[in-house]
Structure 1
């Protein structure tokens, strides 16, 4: 009996652990397009698992995301493939590299490069496949199918065509330069401010602007403080001319303090002639006043 036990044990060890494959039946496959000005999503639900999602935020390229209802895959590295279809003889799978399976509902986000190659693979009839090897030798595989993809991809591209130029993380901090040394806004500065205004129009929660004016050290201290003030006021006036209320804007001016580069050559001095624009979300806008809130840093330093 003891010998039989060891024979059965050795036989079981010679077989690999059972593989798990998650895939929606061919006749049930669907691609859904969701989104707005801030983000577009192209989604394939995966039966008894979750979904595979291409996500593109405003101002960025798409990534591929795997969502799960549970943690059945377990944590650790997995291989991402653009797998050839059975009806494509002679075509091998394309290994797109490693992703790391984590905890929670979102198991991983691919790189933008990986997502771009998955898009190309789907348009060629390939399947995105996530293959995970467990510590005990088992293999789990999640597969999306290219069925109905091309039409959905067209709808997804229509959605991305309406995205804002940038997302909140990209517009919340901006630098408006004054390379010529004066206080007038050039075309590049106005274009940057228009992007901020466009975002604020789309997102009413982003409703307050903080402006900090700076100069280089070319003049005396009082002259530099006045230049930094006038630069901040120039940006404030542009915002006001384009519909913002004074109560939504706070300005400060710092003169030659807090340089971003040493004032040791013309290029660096141009970098220091700037207004820092910070976009904020505040729950209650400040009460209207006759002038914008202007903070003299000398009073708080």
Structure 2
């Protein structure tokens, strides 16, 4: 059975002296990818040959790859996380996940079977229509097993993304400790449009994620009690997260000092620093009953007060984000009242 190609596909096929192509959807989809990637005509002869070769079994045991005409990239996400993924027939998916405040990581997700622990080698594989290019081995990652056995490094993930934009395929060769092996290949077909949507999603991510903010520190390196620009920027990132995640319903604010002054002086400095943070948060919409303030003077240094650099680190306010169980309504207690009750 034969089928006429589209105008662009016909241009590609004509380089090989073809007017028609075997009516296999994989062949047609591959020709579409070649046109999309603007492959030089000098390289198309090999491609036309490869299009008509049967698939070869992988030397790596079980091999998973979605048929070319069915391969698609999908984008999903919100303020907390963006995902760029491709379903892989019979396996699950490969995906790039970017959390707020972080770079993207690549990982596999097995939909049906939990994988055994082992190692995975990541390759940015050259396409058949790129005979002048070789595969790029990006190194191995340790796999702990399970449905999502590994996260590639930021560097490996970035190079896989760059490779996709060049028409390369992310290729994972997975070796389990028990001797089993498998190969999973993602395809670059229709990647550029999905990548643009992924970038749009990433542009809307929050500055930082919960893990980065849940134990925050506001420094007072100059020794005073007023917030500096760095401290305000940190609090602004925290406020943006609180607005997006209403499940955070309590903040514990704890002021600290170094050992430069007397105990009473240091206790007062730690209180005033904690108050500066509390007042900033309240001025930007955080409810008073969601704040508990404590101050400790010099009692809990981060590092020994043995030099100026260490003393600067100890002049700080610690903020802990919490999700507390909801309790029956009771009279509101101000942060000042709670501070008097919990000061130490």
TM over 0.5: yes
Partner of 2:244: 202
Aligned pairs (5 A) from 1:1-301 = 19-71=61-113, 74-133=116-175, 139-284=181-326, 287=330, 289-292=332-335, 293-294=338-339, 295-298=341-344
The Cα offsets for residues 51-97 of structure 1, whole Å up to 9 and x where unpaired, read as 00100000111110101123386442232111111111121111111
The Cα of 1:262 is off from its aligned counterpart by 2.4
The Cα offsets for residues 213-255 of structure 1, whole Å up to 9 and x where unpaired, read as 1111222111211111111111111111111111100011111
Greater mean alpha carbon deviation, residues 183-192 or residues 152-161: 183-192
Mapped to 1, the partners of 2:238 and 2:60 lie a distance apart of 54
Partner SS, residue 59 of structure 1: coil
Partner SS, residue 42 of structure 1: strand
Higher strand fraction: Structure 1 or Structure 2?
1
Unpaired segments of 5 or more residues in structure 1? 1-15
How many residue pairs get aligned? The number is 283
User: Alpha carbons of 1:28 and 1:290: their partners in 2 closer, same or farther (altered >3 Å)?
Assistant: same
| TM-score (norm: length of structure 2) | 0.77
The Cα of 1:28 is off from its aligned counterpart by 0.4
Q: CA RMSD in A?
A: 2.2
Mapped to 2, the partners of 1:113 and 1:224 lie a distance apart of 44
Mapped to 1, the partners of 2:299 and 2:160 lie a distance apart of 49
Unpaired segments of 5 or more residues in structure 2? 1-57
Greater mean alpha carbon deviation, residues 137-146 or residues 203-212: 137-146
The Cα offsets for residues 8-63 of structure 1, whole Å up to 9 and x where unpaired, read as xxxxxxxx988321111111011000000000000100011100010000011111
Question: Which structure exhibits the higher relative contact order, with contacts defined as CA atoms closer than 8 Å and separated by 6 or more residues?
Answer: 1
CA contact (8 A) 1:213 1:232 kept: yes
Partner SS, residue 232 of structure 1: helix
Mapped to 2, the partners of 1:193 and 1:244 lie a distance apart of 12
